Amino acid sequence: MKSLASIAIGAAALASVASASVKGFDISHYQPTVDFAKAYSDGARFVIIKATEGTTYTDPSFSDHYTKATSAGFIRGGYHFAQPASSSGAAQAKYFLAHGGGWSSDGITLPGMLDLEYAPSGDSCYGLSASAMVSWINDFINTYHTATSQYPLIYTSTSWWQLCTGNNGSFGSKSPLVVARYASSVGTLPNGWSYYTIWQNSDAAPWGGDSDIFNGDLAQLQKIARGS
């Protein structure tokens, strides 16, 4: 999500989902009410829940979502929406860890996810150069790894990665890739990754939030959650 990259699934799935896959979804306070029992009944087995943003914001629905997802039997984890212009990667990783983004080797907790996407307003890359963005990401993931022994998942799109990191290829051996592409196939992956771990393939999951597909079977997903 250790290098988690080494246990995520084979290099095959550049264009389509592997034959073995697991359904999941990701949510935030924009989905205040989620029927987790229905989602589980429909075959979803993992959920990634927004925990934090920057160093001042904690998602108000995180605790409720996390508790209910756990009770429903989900493998679950938190994600952090990056605000690289506001503070260092280390500061944001520490804030994330202190507000729900931690990891334990219990088989049901995914390593946290770093959400890297176009800035909601202003410059798409938060005013950072490609080299500064790469340094910021390294600061975040290394701080997280020091605290947990796991590298966080990195969520991004190929277009953002090319624009804002200069298509840097140095992260694939550390952080598992969660790639966003709303299409019938995954398409070209960001540089540095030969396969994806999770594909966010839709912004309209049946249970709310975004639809995700894990590139492997349930046993492999559980292995990531155990950190083994």
Backbone angles phi, psi at 135, to 5 degrees: -65, -40
pTM of the full structure: 0.92
Give the model's confidence band at 111: pLDDT under 50 very low, under 70 low, under 90 confident, else very high.
very high
CA dist., res. 92 & res. 88, Å (int): 6
Check residue 16 and give its pLDDT.
42
* Domain 4-226, second-level architecture: Alpha-Beta Barrel (3.20)
Give the model's confidence band at 18: pLDDT under 50 very low, under 70 low, under 90 confident, else very high.
low
Sequence letter at residue 108:
I
Check residue 8 and give its pLDDT.
37
Residue 53 a catalytic site member: no
Average pLDDT of the residues of the chain: 93
Sequence letter at residue 215:
N
Catalytic residue among 26, 59, 115, 212: 26
Predicted confidence (pLDDT) at residue 12 exceeds the cutoff of 50 = no
Listed by start position, the domains of the chain span 4-226
Catalytic residue among 35, 64, 117, 139: 117
Predicted confidence (pLDDT) at residue 5 exceeds the cutoff of 70 = no
Predicted confidence (pLDDT) at residue 2 exceeds the cutoff of 80 = no
Alpha helices in 62-186 (DSSP H): 62-71, 89-98, 130-148, 158-165
With pLDDT > 70 as the criterion, what percentage of the chain qualifies? Answer: 92
CA 171 to chain centroid, in Å, comes to 14
CB atoms within 10 A of CB 23: 17
Predicted confidence (pLDDT) at residue 1 exceeds the cutoff of 70 = no
